[in-house]
Amino acid sequence: MGGRSGTLEKAQLMIVNGKQRGETIECAFNPNAYTLEKSVNYGELKATGSGASIMQFVDGNAETLSMELFFDTTDELDSNGSPDTKQVDIRERYTKHIDTLLSVDGELHAPPVCRFVWGDGIDFTALLQRANKQFTKFLPSGVPIRARVNVVFREYKTADYHKSEVSPESTDKTKVWTVTDGDTLWLIAAEEYGDAAHWRTIANHNDIEDPRAIETGDTLELPPL
């Protein structure tokens, strides 16, 4: 990792789209540990007459990243015991920014995508799936100055990863593509078939008269050639 010898770089959360694109939340304290979890789905097919079963791959689930983040502002209490309440309020300094990642962005009509970056060790692009906040220390006024936040991020992939096979029972291997921002029939055909000229195959199969009329969120079937 970069930085001074023996000094671990601060972990950061960066917002990558929406109205607050480019904003960064720097963790005051690095996580003690993090967990990456990945799984796949299998379908169970019964073999005719034998009672035996055959396991067949269906699809893969998005990877998840989970950890506990620790925030504390007690070292910012001034020496005469009269702290700037807003300065040390852990909600204002830190946890409200975590809430941003769970809030609908008016530009996106969905929560923003973020990146969790920690030196050279991890760079994880994701959506925040949930955050469990626990406030553990307070001023006499009730203002919280220490918090632990358990977070779970769900891997975010671009259009190349939105394709999946419809069903393990399907013998024609027809696939499904979920349209994302910037997709065109030409780009999809080039990605799936290696030739943009096959956009007509997709259009005809999905009864699309105007190839420019597809919209984000549309589901297209991609038939075999």
Q: Do 99 and 145 fall into the same domain?
A: yes
Domain coverage including residue 197: 160-222
| pLDDT value of residue 47 | 55
Mean pLDDT in residue range 185-190? 84
Q: Do 165 and 119 fall into the same domain?
A: no
Does 7 map to a domain? no
**CATH (domain of 198):** 3.10.350.10
Q: Do 206 and 194 fall into the same domain?
A: yes
- Where does the pLDDT of residue 161 fall: very low under 50, low under 70, confident under 90, or very high at 90 and above? very low
Q: Do 65 and 114 fall into the same domain?
A: yes
Please give the Cα distance from 163 to 177 (Å, whole number). Answer: 5
Percent of the chain at pLDDT above 70?
A: 79
How many helices (H) does the chain have, and how many strands (E)?
A: 5, 12
Percent of the chain at pLDDT above 90?
A: 31
Q: Do 84 and 174 fall into the same domain?
A: no
Q: Do 103 and 171 fall into the same domain?
A: no
Does 6 map to a domain? no
Does 84 map to a domain? yes
Q: Do 77 and 129 fall into the same domain?
A: yes
Q: Do 95 and 187 fall into the same domain?
A: no
Per-residue pLDDT tens digits for 98-141: 999 999 998 888 899 999 999 888 999 999 999 999 999 999 88
What's the structural domain count of the chain?
A: 2
How many residues would you count in the chain? 225
Residues 6+ away with beta carbon under 8 Å from 4: none
Tokens 């632990």 -> residue: 148
- Where does the pLDDT of residue 151 fall: very low under 50, low under 70, confident under 90, or very high at 90 and above? very high
Q: Work out the end-to-end distance of the chain between its first and last CA atoms, rounded to an integer number of angstroms.
A: 48
Q: Do 36 and 121 fall into the same domain?
A: yes
Q: Do 108 and 137 fall into the same domain?
A: yes
Q: Name the token pair of 52.
A: 């035996």
